[in-house]
Amino acid sequence: MKKRDYSQYDRYLLAVDCIVFGFDGENLKILITKRNFDPMYGEWSLMGGFMKSSETLDCAASRILTTLTGLENVYLEQLKCYSEPDREPTARIVSTSYYALINIKENIQINEKYSAKWFDFEDFPSLILDHNLMIEDAIKRLRYRASTQPIGFELLPEKFTMKDLQNLYEAIFNEKYDKRNFISKINSLDILIKTDEKDMTSSKKGSFLYKFDEKKYNKKASNGFLFKI
């Protein structure tokens, strides 16, 4: 059988760019790095890199995120492919974006090599190339996910108050919710376990701490629902 000749086809570089979301208890955050090579040296950028010949795109994204944060087994979701012919000034590079969800209170060891910094999602600097577009697409996907599946397992500590959970949803959707309506909606999902512990920092009476029921959470995430208050 005749072997196919691929030499007639153009070759491109395949990159991965990671949009890293975090939550500090009140605000949605995004982790941005400073470009440490030319062109555009020193400008703000998403964390990215090239896929190796031995990797899948998912493996490349995971490796790049671990290089930046020191974390493994982080929630990563493939977002979109960006392939405009002139998106990079130095070469023909096609990039696939991923977004990650990180609990900022975890033991994150940010690699100093990349001068990375957490910014409030509502107030971050303009980025190079089409990275701002990638972030816009990522927040749309995150909001869609939060409206059709439970969210918080990846962004909140193991135990949290109902107010912490409400703050997270308000930060993602950039909306304010009535406390009673929010609690009623969350309780209807039946994915929380109320503990006997309290957070005593919020008031003299304190606020009960909750944790996710992992089995019910994963089942609800698989089946989906419509989150609307």
Per DSSP, the residues of 98-166 read EEEEEETTS-----GGGT-EEEETTS----STTHHHHHHHHHHHHHHHHHHS---TTTS-SSEEHHHHH
Q: Would you state the CATH architecture of domain 160-223?
A: Orthogonal Bundle (1.10)
Lookup result for tokens 């950028």: 45
pTM to 2 decimal places: 0.91
Domains 13-148 and 160-223 belong to one CATH topology: no
Question: 45 has which bridge partners?
Answer: 33
pLDDT digits (tens, 9 = 90+) for 27-47: 999 999 999 888 899 999 999
pLDDT digits (tens, 9 = 90+) for 72-91: 888 999 999 999 999 999 99
Decide if pLDDT at 107 tops 70. Answer: no
Decide if pLDDT at 5 tops 90. Answer: no
Domain boundaries along the sequence of the chain: 13-148, 160-223
Q: Would you state the CATH architecture of domain 13-148?
A: Alpha-Beta Complex (3.90)
